[in-house]
Structures are given as structure tokens and as C-alpha cells.
Amino acid sequence: MNNLSVDHLTGIKDLTREDIELIFKTADSFKEVINRPIKKVPSLRDITIANLFFENSTRTRLSFELAEKRLSADVVNFSASSSSVKKGETLIDTVNNILSMKVDMVVMRHPNPGAAKFLSERITAKVVNAGDGTHEHPTQALLDAFSIRERLGSVEGKKVVIVGDILHSRVALSNIYCLQKLGAEVMVCGPTTLIPKYIHELGVKVEHNLRSALEWCDVANMLRIQLERQEIKYFPSLREYSMQFGLNKEILDSLGKEIIVMHPGPINRGVEITSDVADSKQSIILQQVENGVAVRMAVIYLLASKIER
């Protein structure tokens, strides 16, 4: 197979295992490209991409922009905080105005779950979801799984625990879909209040004791507490959360085995992970960021190949 089964990337749920493997194979080639002295290929010289960010971002936004530029696409950036959205313009009006400037692909981060899907059903340009509220963050899950494959040789059969604020996390949902499609076993770990009630329907294990979860896993993906999405108190204090669910060097070293530590960023050092763990040799946090560019190049390249020219 050399083409994706989808026309847009709105969620991992819509991808097949073959789609994910094709993205990884393509990303392998692009990883080689971005490590060359000349880090650019002319593949998308005739393509224009708009990055629409209605929510804050550091990694995802920079990573997409770099990926697009490494592929030689023309890039325009839009940030809601400095746009006419503030004057009451609707999402569709904003996007249609941008598209009338002959844009071929839209990469969008939006606070509303389903926003990317909504857009993909209403515009002719290709849509890539860069995070839609608490729903999905597909390219994050792809780069996470790609990083596990790189470090452990494959994802199949590996045990991955996702720790923290599962309830508000688009990273958790996309990771669950992606890892399961690739044959991994997935566990979630956190306070009862931060584990959604529907979690059992997804076929994942649930654990409320961090040590037990770490003893079970090959990989621990530590998530940030998303205070900006929490309207009520889900646990007594950050200090208490950290004491029960924070990963520190003492626990890591006492496991008697080497696990891999991941984090999608941004990190709250001293809350879900201590600095000595984040900066340890077991941490692949910065490799995840590096792989993000290659994986996003692959996604953009494969979707662009479906544009009728």
C-alpha cells in the first residue's frame, strides 16, 4: 500500500494499521532527510498550507511549520488571539476566507472536540487535526508510537501505561487508539476522578497505584494535569497529586528494570515528573520532539499526494 485510506487526518480512530505503518515508513525516510546537512526536499513546492491555531501551542505549531518548510511548501500562519475571530467571525467564515487565497491544506488546533472533522466535511482543502479540545491529537500519538518503535524495535506486544489526567487528554485517547491498532497493551493510571467512566469500553487496563502500573509496563507516558480544562477540583492539591502519581528517580530506580519514560510536553517539572527523571537516559522526551517533525512531514506528504492538481 502506498496511499492512505483517508483524505484528512482528523483522528487516529479513522486510520487502519496499514495507514499507520505507511506513515512510519515514510517518516523513516524523512528522518534521514532532516539529519542531512541540507534538510530540505522539493516535494511540495506547489502546495500552500495554512496553520490555524485557535489554542496555544509551542511544539505542535513549530513542528508542523518546520515539517512543511522541510517539504518546500508555502506556509501561512494564523493565530486566533491576533485575528478577526476576536471580532466575532465564525470558524467557517475564517477558513473560507483563508481558502479563497488558494490554500491546499489546513492544519488546525481548536478547543472544540470535533472541530477538525466539522471542517473536513465542509471544505475542499485537506485537513490535519493538530488537537481538538479533549478529543484527539493524532500526530502526537503517531510520533509517540514512532518513538517507541524506534527505541524498542516495535510497538507490537509492548506494555504502555499512560499516567495522569486521562479525562481531559486528547493525547491519551489518540495514544490508546494508535497503540492498540499496532498491537500494544495499554493501561491508564491516575486518580479515579481523572479516569473517564467510558474507559473500559476502550479495552484498556485501569490502575490507580503508580508503582503497580510501572512494575507492569515497558513504557510510561506521563501526562500533564490540564488545569485549564478543569472547572472543578478533581484532587485535593498538586502536591498530593505529585506524591501519589508523580514519577521520581527513587521509584524509577527501585523498579529493578529499565522502562522508557515519555511525555508529550509541556512538562510541569515537579508535578507529574521530576527534573532528574525528565532529563535521565530513560527519558525519550526530546527524541519524541525530533521525531514529530519527520512524522508530520510524512502525514503532510501522504495527504498532499491525494490533492487533485
Q: Which positions lie near ligand CP, rule CB under 6 A?
A: 57-61, 131, 137, 140, 264-266
- The full DSSP string for 126-185 is EEEEEEETTS--HHHHHHHHHHHHHHHS-STT-EEEEES--TT-HHHHHHHHHHHHTT-E
- Name the residue with the smallest CB distance to ligand CP: 60
Whichever of 157 and 266 has its CB closer to ligand CP, that residue is 266
Where helices occur in the chain by DSSP H, the ranges are 17-34, 59-70, 91-99, 115-120, 138-152, 170-181, 210-216, 238-245, 249-253, 275-278, 285-304
Residue placing its CB nearer to ligand CP in the complex, 43 or 63: 63
Q: What one-letter code names the amino acid at 62?
A: L
CA–CA gap between residue 52 and residue 74 (Å, rounded):
14
In the complex, the smallest distance separating the C-beta of residue 291 from ligand CP, rounded to whole angstroms, is: 12
Q: How far is the CB of 63 from ligand CP (least distance, A)?
A: 8
Instruction: End-to-end CA distance of the chain: give it in Å, rounded.
Output: 22
Q: Minimum Å distance from CB 235 to ligand CP?
A: 22
Q: Looking at beta carbons only, is 68 or 207 nearer to ligand CP?
A: 68
Could you count the other beta carbons within 10 Å of the beta carbon of residue 126?
24
Marked catalytic residue, from 36, 86, 87, 233: 87
Catalytic residue among 8, 31, 109, 149: 109
60 catalytic per annotation = yes
* In contact, 130 and 107? CB cutoff 8 Å: yes
* CB nearer ligand CP, residue 141 or residue 182: 141
Smallest gap from Cβ 133 to ligand CP, in A, equals 12
Asked about 109 being catalytic, the answer comes back as: yes
Ramachandran angles phi, psi of 226, nearest 5°: -90, 75
- Cβ distance to ligand CP smaller for residue 191 or 292: 292
Catalytic choice (110, 117, 126, 137): 137
Based on the residue annotation, tell me whether 309 is a catalytic residue of this protein: no
Provide the minimum distance between the beta carbon of 60 and ligand CP in the complex, in angstroms, as a whole number.
3
Catalytic (active site) residue 269: no
Per annotation, catalytic residue among 13, 59, 69, 151? 59
Catalytic residue positions, numbered: 59-60, 87, 109, 137
